[in-house]
Structure 1
Amino acid sequence: MSITTIRRACIIDDDRLYVSLIKMLINKNKLAQELLIFENGKQAFDYFESALESGNIDVLPQVVLLDLNMPIMDGWEFLEALEPYADKLKACCLKLNVVSSTINPEEMTKARNHDIVNDFITKPISKDAMISAFKA
Structure 2
Amino acid sequence: MNSLNDFDCILLIDDDPIINFVTNRFLRKAGYQNEIIKFEHSLEGFDYVKAVLTSFDLGPCSVLIFLDINMPVLNGWGFLEQFEKLPAKAKEVFRIVILTSSYDPKDIKMANDDKNVSGYVVKPLSIFRIGEVEDYLEKLRF
TM-score over 0.5 for the pair: yes
Is residue 122 of structure 1 aligned with residue 122 of structure 2?
A: yes
2:95 maps to which residue?
95
Question: Over aligned residues, Cα RMSD in angstroms?
Answer: 2.4
2:21 maps to which residue?
20
Unaligned ranges ≥5, structure 1:
none
Judging changes above 3 Å, is the alpha-carbon distance between structure 1 residues 32 and 63 closer, same or farther for their aligned structure 2 residues?
A: farther
Deviation at 1:4, TM superposition (A): 5.9
Deviation at 1:121, TM superposition (A): 0.7
For 2:42 and 2:105, the matched residues in 1 are separated by 23
- TM-score, length-scaled by structure 1: 0.84
Deviation at 1:130, TM superposition (A): 1.9
- What's the secondary structure of 1:78's corresponding residue? helix
Cα shift readout 1:13-59 (whole Å, capped 9, x = no counterpart): 0111111111111112222411011112100111111222335446x
1:133 maps to which residue?
133
For 2:55 and 2:111, the matched residues in 1 are separated by 28
For 1:13 and 1:32, the matched residues in 2 are separated by 21
Q: How many residues align?
A: 134
2:112 maps to which residue?
112
- What's the secondary structure of 1:52's corresponding residue? helix
For 1:15 and 1:7, the matched residues in 2 are separated by 24
Which runs of 4 or more aligned residues in structure 1 lie more than 3 Å from their structure 2 counterparts after TM superposition? 54-58
1:8 maps to which residue?
9
Judging changes above 3 Å, is the alpha-carbon distance between structure 1 residues 53 and 77 closer, same or farther for their aligned structure 2 residues?
A: same
Q: Where do residues 28-39 of structure 1 align in structure 2 (5 Å cutoff)?
A: 28-39=29-40
Q: Percent identity?
A: 25
Q: Which amino acid aligns with 1:105?
A: P
Judging changes above 3 Å, is the alpha-carbon distance between structure 1 residues 109 and 51 closer, same or farther for their aligned structure 2 residues?
A: same
For 1:86 and 1:128, the matched residues in 2 are separated by 34
1:52 maps to which residue?
53
